[in-house]
Structure 1
């Protein structure tokens, strides 16, 4: 059976997460008749038990799973190797700490069937955060237009082969998800109803660190690939909209604003901040 969907999961030290990610994926609703699915876990530079945990997950009928153990770290190299081995006509790029809902893969399959370039993602939901500051920040963040509208694609995005042909090798950028999303016009992007759960970083300093990285990623795309910005369809809300959100959730707004201000403060900068920042 030729795989219809190839799910690529770059994983760097994802012990404790990769097992749940794969188990949820393998519990997906059946794909269209005659279609199969493969998973490629591309472990890159792991020093923990990510590889062993991934190989220990039972693979159900209709799926195949290969765990590739790369000694070299780096997400871009992992994506390149995964794509080289992928056989599916639909490519799904999945973070190793994301939990998909059962209907998601089938809905993505339906959205990306055809010869025209298409991009798709699901409806994101946040995992319940442990820390109060992350709960407040996430509660407000989840109401912003970028999350509620359009097709964000953070944590999970997919495209058909015609869409992937839009570019050659992945550029070495911070925000590969933004690069992929903006390589498609708004009319070519599909947000399916099925959800996936995405974890928010825990703690104030980690929120600041990751938010700074996200801002740097957006700025890098604007500097290196300015034509892609014409495909942006979600813009900052106007002050009146922000005020309405703030009045509905003042604690969430204050937390979100405090993080945004701290991002610009040198007091919260650390030396040699990594391009890839987890902050768990």
Structure 2
């Protein structure tokens, strides 16, 4: 049991830190799913939305959901930062958070009703732990759906705890690093701060949408690869915690036989990543 976690009913058991940059179209659904979570615990949840560098009404749409959180004794706080940058937003959220368990949530993610409670239970310990749920990769267009079908079967996604879009740590785990460094891949940085044995997967799921269209898939994959390379260059000591398995040829052949179109799309994106120069900037592709 984390010391002080249940000292009084006003102390949050969990702080959800939610960076959001120009996410007006998605922030409402994300917060409504979070607010509908099953929560049988005495201590409440606090949600901190960090609207960073927004040129739309993300902050106002987030505040519009506050009454629903207050109705169940939870809090929803919206911080606005004129300057963009996800790691800066994460640090601002951490500075405002009071919960022993920290859940870092992307604004395009939709959590299932049991995810928050299961993560809380997994992290309710004094030893350092990292947790995430079962990721459901979703897409709209036929090409991105084909890519998603194969990506779900890649050993890293199917066998490990990737934490795409949602990852969480307890107080002892959060003590392993100070401020988030200014890096591309905050989720990779945090995941590799823990050994494979310290990473816990809970059965509850969440929906994580991917980019739409070939060019956007290539750009996102390039950014993902650049983020991993940056971790290796700046924090080489973390690589000892990497447990990413290589796909066996037999597994790849099986995927090709079951879904030749999906594998063709997936392989085409991988090839384009190698052949095309990386684009400047960042586009989610939705």
Name the SS of the counterpart of 1:111 in structure 2. Answer: helix
Matched, 1:2 2:11: yes
| Cα drift, residue 92 of structure 1 | 0.2
Measured against aligned partners, the alpha-carbon deviations of 1:12-68 in whole angstroms (never above 9, x if no partner) come to: 000110000000000000142x21100000000101010111011132313100011
Name the SS of the counterpart of 2:283 in structure 1. Answer: coil
Give the Cα–Cα distance (whole angstroms) in 2 for the partners of residues 130 and 245 of structure 1.
21
Matched, 1:229 2:239: yes
Trace 1:157-176 onto structure 2 (pairs within 5 A). 157-176=167-186
Trace 1:28-67 onto structure 2 (pairs within 5 A). 28-32=37-41, 34-57=42-65, 58-59=68-69, 60-67=71-78
Q: Is the 8 A contact 2:106 2:165 kept in 1?
A: yes
Give the Cα–Cα distance (whole angstroms) in 2 for the partners of residues 130 and 234 of structure 1.
28
Trace 1:59-98 onto structure 2 (pairs within 5 A). 59=69, 60-98=71-109
Identify the residue that residue 131 of structure 2 maps to in structure 1.
120
Give the Cα–Cα distance (whole angstroms) in 2 for the partners of residues 49 and 222 of structure 1.
37
| Cα drift, residue 269 of structure 1 | 4.5
The one of 253, 265, 274 equivalent to 2:263 is: 253
Give the Cα–Cα distance (whole angstroms) in 2 for the partners of residues 234 and 116 of structure 1.
24
Identify the residue that residue 239 of structure 1 maps to in structure 2.
249
The one of 17, 21, 25 equivalent to 1:12 is: 21
Matched, 1:277 2:283: yes
- Kindly report the root-mean-square deviation, in angstroms, between the aligned alpha carbons of the 2 structures: 1.1
Q: After TM superposition, where is structure 1 displaced by more than 6 Å over at least 4 residues in a row? A: none
Name the SS of the counterpart of 1:252 in structure 2. Answer: helix
Name the SS of the counterpart of 1:97 in structure 2. Answer: coil
Q: Is the 8 A contact 2:26 2:107 kept in 1?
A: yes
Give the Cα–Cα distance (whole angstroms) in 2 for the partners of residues 55 and 89 of structure 1.
24
Q: Is the 8 A contact 1:3 1:36 kept in 2?
A: yes
In structure 2, relative to structure 1, the CA distance for the partners of 1:144 and 1:136 (3 Å cut) is same
Q: Calculate the TM-score normalised by the size of structure 1.
A: 0.95
Give the Cα–Cα distance (whole angstroms) in 1 for the partners of residues 224 and 196 of structure 2.
21
Matched, 1:202 2:212: yes
Structure 2 regions of 5+ residues with no counterpart? 1-9
Structure 1 regions of 5+ residues with no counterpart? none
Give the Cα–Cα distance (whole angstroms) in 1 for the partners of residues 126 and 114 of structure 2.
23
Measured against aligned partners, the alpha-carbon deviations of 1:68-114 in whole angstroms (never above 9, x if no partner) come to: 11111111111111101100010000000100000000000000001
- Which deviates more from structure 2 when the two are superposed, residues 190-199 or residues 61-70? 61-70
Identify the residue that residue 3 of structure 2 maps to in structure 1.
none
Identify the residue that residue 116 of structure 2 maps to in structure 1.
105
Q: Calculate the TM-score normalised by the size of structure 2.
A: 0.93
Q: Is the 8 A contact 1:213 1:277 kept in 2?
A: no
Identify the residue that residue 35 of structure 2 maps to in structure 1.
26
Q: Is the 8 A contact 1:31 1:105 kept in 2?
A: no
